[in-house]
Amino acid sequence: MASQDVANVPNITTDQSALLALKASISYNPHNVLTNNWSTGTSVCNWIGITCGFRHHRVTALNLSYMGLLGTIPPHIGNLSFLVSLSIKNNNFHGSVPNELAHLFRLRHLSFKFNDFGGEIPSWMGLLSKLKFLSLAGKSFTSGIAPSLCNISSLEIISFGYNKLSGSISIFKCKRLKYLYLAYNYFTESVPSEIGNLIMLTELYFHNNNFKVSFK
């Protein structure tokens, strides 16, 4: 029984399986980077776009930005339990963002900027309690800002520009927020006066919306 428990403990093999599931979900890989490099014949930690930690020898960063990839994000990525940084910006990932990514409780940097995801900003992102940087900019998301994001007190940078967001802005519990980019959306309500409570805010971008002039 004990040996079976040990076998079920996540390790670098768990990470390898998750990344190979991601590779399998990519239907277009124009530069063949993953095809030629993500191979079981080499260590995961030597794969392009992968960084491993020295202490636990687990994947801590996944960066596939600017690779022109077309595909979806499989739920297996939620098994990368030591992941601190996840960036797939400027690709062509589409579909929904799987709920299993809520398991990435160590995540501090998340960028899905300029892909083709659809639907609302996932409410489970509010469970990523250590998140400092969140970028979902670029023609992907609709509806409003998930109220659950208010639960992430550690957030310092939010970039949601170039989407189709509307409704109210209720992120004023993010007391450490330094940068807020909401330009090029469909917001129409008045700018809440609570914006003044963000005392660490140094950069604020609201242009190209339809905000009312008055403050609530």
Each residue's pLDDT tens digit, 145-191: 888 887 888 999 999 999 999 887 877 678 899 999 999 999 887 77
* Structural domain total, the chain: 2
For residue 57, tell me if it sits in a domain.
Answer: yes
For residue 67, tell me if it sits in a domain.
Answer: yes
The amino acid present at 76, given as its one-letter code, is: H
* Residue 35 CA, distance from chain mean position: 24
Q: Residue 126: phi, psi to the nearest 5?
A: -65, -10
Same domain for 147 and 92? no
Radius of gyration of the chain (CA): 19
Any residues with CB less than 8 A from the CB of 115 and at least 6 apart, and which? 88, 89, 90, 91, 92, 93, 94, 138, 140
Please state, in angstroms and rounded to a whole number, the distance separating the CA atoms of residues 123 and 157: 18
pLDDT tens across 183-210, in order?
A: 999 988 777 778 888 899 999 999 999 8
Same domain for 106 and 142? no
Segments forming the whole domain that contains residue 32: 1-117
| Strand ranges (E), the chain | 26-28, 50-52, 59-63, 70-71, 85-87, 92-95, 109-111, 116-117, 133-135, 142-143, 157-159, 164-165, 179-181, 190-191, 203-205, 212-215
Query: E strand or H helix at 15, and its extent?
Result: helix 12-24
pTM of the prediction?
0.90
